[in-house]
Amino acid sequence: MTKKVLWWGHFDADYSRNRILRQLFLSLNWEIIDFKPRIGALGDVEAYIRQIPPADLVWVPCFRQRDLLAAYRWAKKTRIPLIFDPLISAYDKQVWERKKFSKESNQAKKLLKWEQTLFQSADYVVADTEQHAAYYASTMHISSNKIFVLPVGAEEPLFTAQDNCLLNRPLRILFYGSYIALQGPEIIARAIQLYQGPEVQWHFIGDGPLRKNVQNSLQGLDNVHFTDWVPYADLPLWISNADICLGVFGSTEKTQRVIPNKVYQAMSCARPVITSISEVYSLLLRQNNESGIFFVPANDALALAEMVKKLAEQPDLVIQGQKNVIQSYKQYFSNEVIKKQLASLLQSALA
C-alpha cells in the first residue's frame, strides 16, 4: 500500500534540497501531498477547515521553522509522526553567522528558546552532516536518537559526470557562491595574490557582501574573471568547463559543520575540489590521497596557493582526480546513498 507524506509549509519545491528529497520519496513509492497554509502559525486550523486528507507522515522542509508548531499540533492530534529538516538553525544564522544579535542579548536568548521549543516538538530532526547533528543535539537540547543524517547531495539528472578529461591550457579554477564569510572568498583572493606557479585562470561566479572587497583586491589582474549569477541550469556547464572547483575556506564554526552545495555538485560532475579540511568529511576521505578532494587548512591562503601550484605543475593529478572524485561521490554522497538513509529514517518514524 502506498504511503503518503504531507509536505507542510511555505516551502520552495524547486530548492535543490527539497527537490532531491521529493524525488527520493517518489522513488520509495511514497505519495507526496503538498500543504501550504496561508498563515503558517494557523496552519493546523486551515488543515482542519480544508479537510486535508490523511497521511502517514508530516514533513516540514528546510528553513520552515515558522510552520513547525502548527504542523506539530496537527500531527499530534492526528497521531502521525512529524519530521523536521531545518538544514540551518535560525539562531546560528542570526547570532553567529550574520552577527545580528550578540550571544548575551535578550533577542538572542529569546530566539534560541523559541527554536529549541520547535526542534524538541519534532519526532525526528534531519541534519545534513554528523557535525550539524551534534550541534542540534547540544544547542537545541534534543536527543541524538531523534536525529538522522541525510547529506545534501546534488541533483544528479542535472549535475552529471563529464567524459572529457582534456584540461584547459592554462588550467581553469572555478569558484561560485554568495561571497559570505563561511565560504572564505577573501582567502581565495589572497591566495591569488600569493600564487607563484604556472599560469592559471581564476573564475568567480556570484554576488554577495564580500564581492566588492574581493574584486577590488584583484583589480588589474588579467587572469581573474568575475561573472554575476548564472541560471541554475547553466551551472553544470560552467563546472564542466573548469578543471578544478573551489569549496569553502572560511574560519567560522559553521564552515566546520557543513559540506556546501558546490562541493557536492562539482564532485557529481567529476571535477576535483580544493576545500578546507574538516571533520565534516569522514576520516577515510580525509586520509585518502586519491579521493579527488584536495584538502588545505581553513583560513590559509598560502596553503591554497601552494595546492593550486602543485596541481598546475602536475596536471596528471587533476586528470586522475576527475576519475577519483566521482567514485568518492558515489560512495559517500550519491542520491542512492541518501535514498538508503531516507528509507531508514522513514522506517524508524513509522515504527
* Within a domain: 67: yes
Shared domain check, 99 and 18: yes
Give the number of other Cβ atoms within 10 Å of residue 145's Cβ. Answer: 9
* Within a domain: 97: yes
Confidence at residue 252, expressed as pLDDT on a 0 to 100 scale: 84
Shared domain check, 140 and 181: no
Number of structural domains (the chain) is: 2
What are the strands of the beta sheet with 273-276, ordered from one edge?
224-227, 200-206, 171-177, 244-246, 273-276, 293-296
Give the number of other Cβ atoms within 10 Å of residue 172's Cβ. Answer: 19
Shared domain check, 339 and 323: no
Total-model pTM: 0.93
Shared domain check, 265 and 239: yes
Shared domain check, 117 and 14: yes
Confidence at residue 163, expressed as pLDDT on a 0 to 100 scale: 65
pLDDT digits (tens, 9 = 90+) for 99-130: 888 889 999 999 999 999 999 999 999 999 99
* Within a domain: 60: yes
Confidence at residue 162, expressed as pLDDT on a 0 to 100 scale: 72
Place of cell 556547464: 237
Shared domain check, 120 and 30: yes
Confidence at residue 166, expressed as pLDDT on a 0 to 100 scale: 81
Confidence at residue 96, expressed as pLDDT on a 0 to 100 scale: 86
Give the number of other Cβ atoms within 10 Å of residue 326's Cβ. Answer: 21
* Within a domain: 166: no
- Tens of each residue's pLDDT in the chain, 351 residues: 799 999 999 999 999 999 999 999 999 999 999 999 999 899 999 999 999 988 999 999 999 999 999 999 999 999 999 999 999 999 998 988 888 888 899 999 999 999 999 999 999 999 999 999 999 999 999 999 999 999 999 999 999 987 666 899 999 999 999 999 989 999 999 999 999 999 999 999 999 999 999 999 999 999 999 999 999 999 999 999 999 999 999 988 888 899 999 999 999 999 999 999 999 999 999 998 899 999 999 999 999 999 999 999 999 999 999 999 999 999 999 999 999 999 999 999 998
List the CATH number of the domain containing 293. Answer: 3.40.50.2000
Beta strands in the chain (DSSP E): 3-8, 30-35, 57-60, 82-84, 124-127, 147-149, 171-177, 200-206, 224-227, 244-246, 273-276, 293-296
* Within a domain: 164: no
Confidence at residue 164, expressed as pLDDT on a 0 to 100 scale: 62
Confidence at residue 165, expressed as pLDDT on a 0 to 100 scale: 67
Confidence at residue 237, expressed as pLDDT on a 0 to 100 scale: 94
User: Which residues, in sequence order, are CB contacts of 278 under 8 Å at separation 6+?
Assistant: 131, 255, 256, 298
Domain containing 70: what range? 3-153+334-350
Confidence at residue 254, expressed as pLDDT on a 0 to 100 scale: 85
Shared domain check, 198 and 107: no
Confidence at residue 172, expressed as pLDDT on a 0 to 100 scale: 97
User: Which residues, in sequence order, are CB contacts of 127 under 8 Å at separation 6+?
Assistant: 133, 135, 136, 147, 148, 149, 150
Confidence at residue 127, expressed as pLDDT on a 0 to 100 scale: 97
Grid coordinates given for 49:
477547515
pLDDT digits (tens, 9 = 90+) for 22-55: 999 999 999 999 999 999 899 999 999 999 988 9
Shared domain check, 199 and 312: yes
Shared domain check, 277 and 338: no
The angle that helices 335-350 and 16-27 make with each other, rounded to 10 degrees, is 70
Shared domain check, 276 and 320: yes
With 0-12 / 13-18 / 19 or more C-beta atoms within 10 angstroms meaning exposed / middle / buried, residue 54 is exposed
Shared domain check, 342 and 218: no
* Within a domain: 114: yes
What is the bridge-based pairing of β-strands 200-206 and 30-35? unpaired
* Within a domain: 315: yes
From residue 110, give the alpha-carbon distance in Å to each of 100, 113, 140, 156. 13, 5, 13, 40
Grid coordinates given for 264:
557536492
CA 184 to chain centre: 16
* Within a domain: 159: no
Instruction: Quote the CA–CA distance of 14 and 118 in Å, as a whole number.
Output: 24
Instruction: Quote the CA–CA distance of 279 and 283 in Å, as a whole number.
Output: 7
From residue 284, give the alpha-carbon distance in Å to each of 10, 263, 290, 303, 334. 39, 17, 11, 22, 17
Grid coordinates given for 147:
536525529
Instruction: Quote the CA–CA distance of 215 and 204 in Å, as a whole number.
Output: 10
Shared domain check, 85 and 109: yes
